[in-house]
Each structure stands twice: as C-alpha cells, then as structure tokens.
Homo-oligomer: A and B are copies of this chain.
Amino acid sequence: MENSPLHFQLESLRFLEATDFDILEGLFTREETAGSGKLLAIEGGAADKVMVLSKGWALRYKSLPDGRRQILNFLLPGDIVGFFALLFKTVEYGIETLTPVTMNSFSPEKLLDAFNNAPRLAVALSWLAGQDERQLDEQIVRVGRRSATERMAHLFVELHYRLLQAGIPGDEAQHFPMKQTILADTLGMSHVHANRSFRTLVREGLVTLRDGEILLLDPDSLAQVAGFDAGYLEQESLPKATESALPH
C-alpha cells in the first residue's frame, strides 16, 4: 500500500501528513480484482462505491444509441474512479477494463466521514478530481482542434506522462495495452483512419507495435509532433493562499 500509485501521487503534493495517510488506509475495504474486458460500471446503472485503481488499465466511455462510442478518458493506476458518482442516481458512463486490474473501493459513509474529519485528506482527494477535470479539458481540445496525427501523438504522450507520475517505471510506461479500435474511439475517428495515423507515426520511427501492444520509441519527438504542453498535468504543491487556509 505504501508503494501504491495513489500514495506516490499524493506524496508529490507534499502536504499530507502521516495521520492523513493512516486515515486513507482506513477508508479502503478489501482489495478487489477484475479480469480484462470486464464492465466495472454500466451506462445508466447506479454507483455504490468509489474506487481507486492500483494496477491495470480501464477506460470510461459513453455510447450513442446507434452504436457509436466515445471514450472519455483512460483510467490508470492511481486514478480515482467515480469520485462524483455517489452524488447522482445514475452513472452516465460505462467503465471497462482493458487489462486485468486490482483496485480498492470505499463506501459513501467512509468517504463522507473522511471529508468531515480529515480536511487535508479531503483536499487531496479533491485535488485528484481536479486533475481529472484538467485531463477532460485537454481531451476536448485534442478531439476538437487537433489533426488526426497530432491527436494520436498527444494522447500517447499524455498517457506516458501520467504513468510516470503514477510511479510506473520508465520502460513499462512506454507500453500501452490497447487495440487500434480503442484509439479510434478515444480520438473521435474511424478505426481505419486510426490505423493510417498510427502507421505514419510508425514510419517516422516514433512508435511501434510489439506483442500486441503499442510501444513508444521516442516520447520526446512525439511531444514535438503533438505540440504537447505538459502544463495541465503538472503536479505542484498547493498555492499559498489555499495552503494557509487549511487547518493545522
């Protein structure tokens, strides 16, 4: 647990104390696992818990009645899943595992308790939710205003960056366990065009396909191609005004 991606991320915030981490431990129920290709949430269903992914990949998506599907974001180790879901009667999105995953969950009671009794922890969890929202913003820009190749390169760099931030070792953080259809549904294009865009990146030696996984060969050049600006992923300590407004 001490080495979990969540811990790793929260420590980079540098303002949680040992007691906060203890409380965090206490929040979790037992660890759960799920195989790959499993549904962790279905569109229109109800949420009864909040989860934290500690291992594996999943994705969050919405689908249209005619079968079109849009992937909203990727869920990586250390990510909170369904932070707001407890506040709504139905979940509007689906969640599907891309690999086998392990996760912890906490119940509504425990979570609300923590918000009342551990303000610093509450801020830390909100901060994670805020990170999430920043990533959604960037996904909108990506899909709305970037060309197909840019989109793909940009997504690759983001995923790589996020994996590193979760404490995943560098080489593992360059392997992405996704099919090209997933890419297409993420980037808002057809799978045929996803393949063509992918191939151009391959031709330029930036990326390749190995053992059914996508492998980044040159993250720096990819960032170049993508016009990637990591600002929205930066994990800094809290601004002073907020920091000083916190109890303790």
Residues in A lying within 8 Å of B, measured CB to CB: 44, 46-48, 62, 64-66, 68-70, 72, 84, 86-90, 92-93, 107-109, 112, 115-116, 119, 122-123, 126-127, 129-130, 132-134, 136-141, 143-146, 187-188, 227, 229, 231-232, 234, 236-239, 241-242, 245-247
- Asked if B239 and A92 sit within 8 Å, CB to CB, the answer is no
CA distance A227 to B242 in the complex (A): 42
- Asked if A144 and B188 sit within 8 Å, CB to CB, the answer is yes
- Asked if B92 and A137 sit within 8 Å, CB to CB, the answer is yes
CA distance A189 to B65 in the complex (A): 24
Which 8 A-B pairs have CB atoms at the shortest separation, nearest pair first? A144-B188, A84-B130, A109-B245, A70-B141, A70-B145, A70-B144, A143-B144, A108-B245
- Asked if B231 and A90 sit within 8 Å, CB to CB, the answer is yes
Given contacts A136-B136, A232-B92, contact A239 B68 (CB under 8 A): no
Instruction: Closest B residue to A73 by CB, please name it.
Output: B140
CA distance A123 to B113 in the complex (A): 12
What B residues does A44 contact at CB under 8 A? 231
Instruction: Closest B residue to A126 by CB, please name it.
Output: B87
What B residues does A229 contact at CB under 8 A? 65
How many copies of the chain does the oligomer comprise?
2
CA distance A134 to B187 in the complex (A): 19
What B residues does A62 contact at CB under 8 A? 137-138, 141
CA distance A112 to B246 in the complex (A): 7
What B residues does A132 contact at CB under 8 A? 133
